[in-house]
Amino acid sequence: MTSTLIFGGTFDPVHYGHIRSARLLLDFFEEARLVMIPCQVPPHRPQPAVNAWHRANMLNLAVSEDQMICVDDCELHREGKSFTFDTLKLYRARFPDEPLFFVLGYDSWVTLTTWYRWQELTDLAHLIVLTRPGGRIVEREELRLWSVGKVVDLDAISCNSGNVIRLSLEQFDISATRVREALVGRQDIAEWVPVPVMNYIAENNLYRDIHVST
Helix (H, G, I), strand (E, B) or coil at 107: helix
Smallest gap from Cβ 97 to ligand ATP, in A, equals 26
Residue 63, φ and ψ in degrees, nearest 5: -110, 10
Task: Name residue 203's amino acid.
Answer: E
Asked if 11 touches ligand ATP (CB under 6 A), the answer is yes
Asked if 87 touches ligand ATP (CB under 6 A), the answer is no
1 or 212: CB nearest ligand ATP: 212
Residue 155, φ and ψ in degrees, nearest 5: -75, 0
Q: Which long-range contacts (CB under 8 A, 24 or more apart) does 180-183 make?
A: 180/12, 180/13, 180/49, 180/207, 180/210, 180/212, 181/212, 183/207, 183/208
**Which contiguous run of DSSP H or E holds residue 6?**
strand 3-9
Contact letters (x/-) for ligand ATP, 154-173, by CB under 6 A?
------------------x-
189 alpha carbon, distance to own chain's centre? 20
Smallest gap from Cβ 55 to ligand ATP, in A, equals 9
List the one residue from 88, 130, 165, 198 that touches ligand ATP (CB under 6 A).
130
Smallest gap from Cβ 171 to ligand ATP, in A, equals 7
- Indicate the residue whose CB is closest to ligand ATP: 105
Smallest gap from Cβ 1 to ligand ATP, in A, equals 25
Applying CB under 6 A, which part among 59-67, 77-85, 116-124, 175-183 lies near ligand ATP?
A: 175-183
